[in-house]
Structure 1
Amino acid sequence: MKNVIDQSALVDGERKLSYWGEEEVKFLFEGFEGDSARESSFALVVFGGAVTNRKRRGGKGPFFAGVRVSEELGMPLVSVSDPSLELSDTIGLAWYVGNQKIRRLPEFIAETLDAISKVSGKKLILAGGSGGGFACLLISSLMEHEANVVVWNPQTSIPEYVPGVVKNYLETAFPSSREKISKEWRYKKKRKQIVFDVLRDEDVSHSIKIESLNSKKVIYFQNLSDWHVEKHCGKLMSEVKMKRGGKERLIADGVSLYLGDWGNGHAPIPRELLKGVIRKIVRHDGDVGFNLRHKNLISSQVPLFALDEVSGDVSVSCSGGTIISFLSLSHPKLSTFPGVKYAFYFILNGKLLEKRWYSNNSKASFDIKGRSGSVRIVGFAKDCFGKKLRFSNEFSI
């Protein structure tokens, strides 16, 4: 591989950089030159997430993110448009992992960013959410130069994402996979394995391994009500032992994780929080050993069963032929348990008769009219990362 950029390429505006051949990847540079140069020892590198309302945003692209926030921060900007999004206006997410014509795209972007850092003399902060967060984590792990990373609600495994969205990407980016995908896609239980097989066969980097980030400076924000908590954040963090590193910070193999509550579901990080953490990184010259405080950060309020001493008890009461069971948790410092979900089994005479699947409700009712014998109520508590605790109560009716 060779250095793909030099000082002459750092000209503000859209640039098409040759991808080791005929194909091109589009970059946007702002604040690097002339009267518009932004005085900062850092440059912000932004990767976009899913593109919605494509017609309103210009049809087939390119799609650049981060322009406004970089202006507000007074930092030079490097924004990368995912070339796979220009293959069809029917896809909105491609994770910057390439396509049939542009393979090894993450390696190309990583080498380009290394060259930009070397030529400009600026340190880089990679930032992105959702699919753009996946790109930040993957590409930073491939870079030779040290870089800071700020992600929010990122995917960490493409096979764990919404099957229909992944299928659309694969069939567009790798047309030769269509037959393989369509043959068994009707079997829902096989879909994840189909996706995994196609990604493997096409040699696409599809999952983040936390050990690849242990020498990086990663700040990871995760909204607690987002379904990504267990499927993406939790699975990534389960690979190592976490510890608490201050009031709101969790540390996992060098990654600083902050759990928050800033909206419903897959909501983007509040703008002032994003700008605040980037400014703090710049002030600390890239060091991320600091602790953040913000009204939307609630890591200290979230119980994690792998870290915290949480005990529990299943209590029952009978009323009018109905058993009401309640699973109560206790912790020396917590009175509420955000992020925890509960499930129950009703077992009569050794036979499982009813289940209540995981929900936010710590109570469950079971009808016992006309029933008699030995009863066992089993209650399960599951923290936001999917780790479970089990408690039970046995009695006779």
Structure 2
Amino acid sequence: MLNISDDIESMRDLSRWERPVHGHASLDAFLATKSLQDGIHAIAYRGVYLEFNLHRRASKSMLVFFNAALSSRTSDVKLPAFSGTRAPHATDACVLMVSDPGLYLDRDIRLAWYAGASGMRLQEDMAKVLRHIQDVLSIARMVLYGASGGGFAALYYAPFLRNAIAVPCNPQINLLIYSPGILGRYLRTAYGYKGAPSAFESADIPDRPTVRIRPEHVRGSRIVYLQNALDARHFNREFLPFLHEQGFSRGRGVVEVHSDRLVSVCGDNWGEGHRAPPAKFVYDLLHSLTKTDGWDRLPETIPALYARTANRFRQVVLKLENGGFTAQAVLHEPQGEDEITMVLYRDDIEIETIRVASAEFGRFSCAADNGRYRVTARAARDHSTEEKTWGDRLLSLFRTRNVFDEMRSRVVVVG
């Protein structure tokens, strides 16, 4: 085993998580443990770290989170990277957040799909780690969630676990058709592969990982596949082919039960592009799946969750025009009196606020200096159909100003 280098240590900052830290000298040392304490576990692993954040509960169900691509890899971005940080407040199940050790391979890598590297058979070893956690904590039910690249991991690892449910969100199914630049950088760094990324499966590469989720791999797994209908690339190149290979087609329903092991949720109000559903929908869905009857109740549970948590925004667009910015926000069902608040940010600092009606273009007065710009649109949510009791209605009076739907635009880079 390689020693952990100073450069690897400079990529880390465990203190920011404010959790107890438990170190393990090797993978074998971790797999020999008879108990697992609450907190962050850091396994010295092939010259880097395999880290996970464990929130223990009395429950025998567990939510497992795999991270998507990091938004950036500046010197300020430290590892480990944990997704699902709101989960401990949204469920009474155990929660496990797993950071991808492949992110330590190079400071330019933002996504590694939990697929390892030469000399790092992560797909094999991660399966052992997850099974060990399940055994030590006597977990009866595991629900694996990941968005985008994390969705690939959720689908890949679910078959290795007892009574597992995979919940991929806008996942990559076939890495070989992903962005050649991002995939190529990872393959060069992790496996020394310099050929065309699309030809990786036929290359003579030691420890070559699985890079495509095939039907036979997930045939015995239960899957709730979440797909944004307005993410055209993943809808057409990943989602539909995945269903087709399983022998299914897709209709126009939000929720479709394809078999007793495959359910798909296809939303058109999560925002345009590679966007996940509202967090409230995701966490409520995951929590429902941790229950004994969670899978069987999906046909009733998902439509109710979807209706209660659906985002009213269909699209938010920011454009650079004549040295300034215009923005447009479109609601699915405008109600005539809707006023949309749009806030412009430069490098994540709020600089201007305007108000417009749905589908109208608004113009910001500030000039476009160098920087990264985005706009956040907000619209008040009408809870009149959701409040059930006088107590609920009274409570809503105190929270009306803070209850709204929100969506962000894509980033516009100037300079």
TM-score by length of structure 2 reads 0.60
Which string of whole-angstrom CA distances, capped at 9 and with x for unpartnered residues, describes residues 202-227 of structure 1? 52200001232222121110001111
Tell me which of 277, 284, 288 is aligned to 2:285. Answer: 277
Tell me how far 1:243 sits from its aligned partner. 6.7
In 1, distance between residues paired with 2:59 and 2:204? 39
Are 1:258 and 2:282 counterparts? no
Tell me which of 231, 234, 237 is aligned to 1:231. Answer: 237
Aligned residues: 276
Are 1:79 and 2:97 counterparts? yes
RMSD over aligned Cα atoms:
2.9
In 1, distance between residues paired with 2:289 and 2:177? 31
Contact kept? 1:281, 1:288, Cα under 8 Å? no
SS at match of 2:64: strand
Partner of 2:52: 28
Inter-CA distance 77–247: structure 2 relative to 1 (3 Å threshold): closer
Q: Which amino acid aligns with 1:150?
A: V
Contact kept? 2:184, 2:197, Cα under 8 Å? no
Partner of 1:10: 36
Tell me which of 66, 71, 79 is aligned to 1:52. Answer: 71
In 2, distance between residues paired with 1:70 and 1:208? 30
Tell me how far 1:15 sits from its aligned partner. 1.6
SS at match of 2:277: coil
Q: Which has the greater radius of gyration?
A: 1
Partner of 1:115: 132
In 2, distance between residues paired with 1:214 and 1:57? 41
Contact kept? 1:43, 1:78, Cα under 8 Å? yes
Contact kept? 1:6, 1:116, Cα under 8 Å? no
Contact kept? 2:152, 2:173, Cα under 8 Å? yes
Inter-CA distance 70–288: structure 2 relative to 1 (3 Å threshold): farther
Tell me how far 1:282 sits from its aligned partner. 2.2
Alignment of 1:1-397 (within 5 A): 5=31, 8-17=34-43, 19=45, 22-23=46-47, 25-32=49-56, 38-55=57-74, 58-59=77-78, 61-103=79-121, 105-122=122-139, 123-141=141-159, 143-175=160-192, 177-178=193-194, 181=195, 191=196, 193-198=198-203, 202-226=207-231, 227-242=233-248, 248-251=255-258, 254-261=261-268, 262-285=270-293, 287-288=295-296, 290-291=298-299, 292-293=302-303, 294-295=306-307
Q: Which amino acid aligns with 1:50?
A: A
SS at match of 1:219: strand
Which string of whole-angstrom CA distances, capped at 9 and with x for unpartnered residues, describes residues 176-207 of structure 1? x23xx2xxxxxxxxx45434434866522000
Structure 1 vs Structure 2: percent identity of aligned residues? 28
Unaligned runs of 5+ in 1: 33-37, 182-190, 298-397
Tell me how far 1:271 sits from its aligned partner. 0.7
Contact kept? 2:123, 2:209, Cα under 8 Å? no
Tell me how far 1:240 sits from its aligned partner. 2.6
Q: Which amino acid aligns with 1:160?
A: I
Contact kept? 1:4, 1:111, Cα under 8 Å? no
TM-score by length of structure 1 reads 0.63
Inter-CA distance 228–3: structure 2 relative to 1 (3 Å threshold): farther
In 1, distance between residues paired with 2:291 and 2:170? 25
SS at match of 1:229: helix
SS at match of 1:140: helix
Q: Which amino acid aligns with 1:16?
A: A
Contact kept? 2:187, 2:197, Cα under 8 Å? no
Contact kept? 1:148, 1:217, Cα under 8 Å? yes
Partner of 1:359: none
Contact kept? 2:142, 2:290, Cα under 8 Å? no
Tell me how far 1:134 sits from its aligned partner. 0.1
Which string of whole-angstrom CA distances, capped at 9 and with x for unpartnered residues, describes residues 342-377 of structure 1? xxxxxxxxxxxxxxxxxxxxxxxxxxxxxxxxxxxx
Unaligned runs of 5+ in 2: 1-26, 311-415
Contact kept? 1:243, 1:252, Cα under 8 Å? no
